[in-house]
Amino acid sequence: MSKSKLEYIWLDGYKPTQNMRSKTKVENDFSGKLEDCPIWSFDGSSTKQASGEASDCLLKPVAIYPDPARENGYLVMTEVLDADGTPHVTNGRAGIDDDDNDFWFGFEQEYFIMDKETQLPLGFPIGGYPGPQGMYYCSVGGRHTHGRNFVEEHADLCIAAGLNFEGINQEVASGQWEYQLFAQGAKKAGDEIWISRYLLDRLTEQYGYYIEYHPKPVKGDWNGSGMHANFSNSVLRTCGSKETYEKICEAFRPVVKEHMAVYGEFNDERLTGLHETAHVNDFSYGISDRGASIRIPIITVEKGWKGWLEDRRPASNGDPYKIAGRIIKTVKSANIN
């Protein structure tokens, strides 16, 4: 008889930023298939998802990946259900309107690597600041590059887990990095971001680091951290029409507040209109414009208006399920088939 460790991962009930939680279930002779992952329960009163008098919540497995750090191990992404089997109010994944996987998402996850002892980003001296941003972006060499071994190991873990991991680069501030993931289907895109974050956070335990997802952890003349959302549906991928693109972009204009409500806590500290951002209360779009709310990539234009859009407003601490769900709702409101 063989035993497998299944790490059940879910999102708790803290507001406005949910946290990952996980616990391990040991199964005998496990097949490795999602359909053979049983529904499990947990104490919702300890995660702000239930009261003590009726504390049981359910974990419904929705995606499974091999765990590269455990022999016979698996990472199981789950949705939280109430005891009656209906989606819990904290379950953003269940509300995504993309059952046909028409929407494709590529998320760019930015973050700061923090030293647990100094509680500063890597490369920041105690009691001071490193050199100004400019030389850190895509840099090489020990003077400006901090944490490469860590991010390379994280990339290897994601690839070994079967995530559609597309790249890494150091960002514009010291100790700030980014990685990219792409998926066909909004729910799958969200699953993979959460699994990648789990691998990232778990890896810090070996290094004496922690990950800071706050969109503006370093005050002053530094870029914040975002999670740019590149998205398309069949219309955007095939329409060949500037007018169609503009109509879809305009659908975002009257719902700025609705988007910002799910784009991440403290995002107003990042979206100031400076540092390659639009202001949190404004809306704009433009070709190759990294200071706009939505950037129309030049490749999309060069291919005859067939491609994708990039919403640059989501914060690094945003929930990809809620972000994708809101984008889909807005695009569909344009009523273009």
Predicted structure pTM score: 0.96
What kind and span of H or E run contains 98?
Answer: none
- Please, are residues 32 and 11 in contact by the beta-carbon 8 Å criterion? no
| Helical H segments across the chain, by residue range | 148-160, 186-204, 234-238, 242-251, 256-260, 298-302, 320-333
Q: Map residue 22 onto helix, strand or coil.
A: strand
Q: pLDDT above 70 covers what percent of the chain?
A: 99
Separation CA 249–CA 93 (nearest Å): 24
Residue range 195-247, pLDDT digits in tens: 999 999 999 999 999 999 999 998 877 788 999 999 999 999 999 999 999 99
Pairing type for strands 104-115 and 209-212 reads antiparallel
Q: How crowded is residue 221: how many other Cβ atoms within 10 Å of its Cβ?
A: 11
| R_g over Cα of the chain | 20
Residue range 58-80, pLDDT digits in tens: 999 999 999 999 999 999 999 99
- Please, are residues 122 and 136 in contact by the beta-carbon 8 Å criterion? no
- Please, are residues 293 and 252 in contact by the beta-carbon 8 Å criterion? yes
The pLDDT, as a whole number, for residue 337 is 78
Separation CA 209–CA 128 (nearest Å): 19
| Burial of 117 from C-beta contacts in 10 A (0-12 / 13-18 / 19+) | exposed
Q: Which domains does the chain have, with CATH numbers?
A: 3-94 (3.10.20.70), 105-212 (3.30.590.10), 226-337 (3.30.590.10)
Confidence of residue 275 (pLDDT cuts 50, 70, 90): low
Question: What angle in degrees, to the nearest 10, is found between the helix axes of 148-160 and 186-204?
Answer: 130
- Please, are residues 25 and 8 in contact by the beta-carbon 8 Å criterion? yes
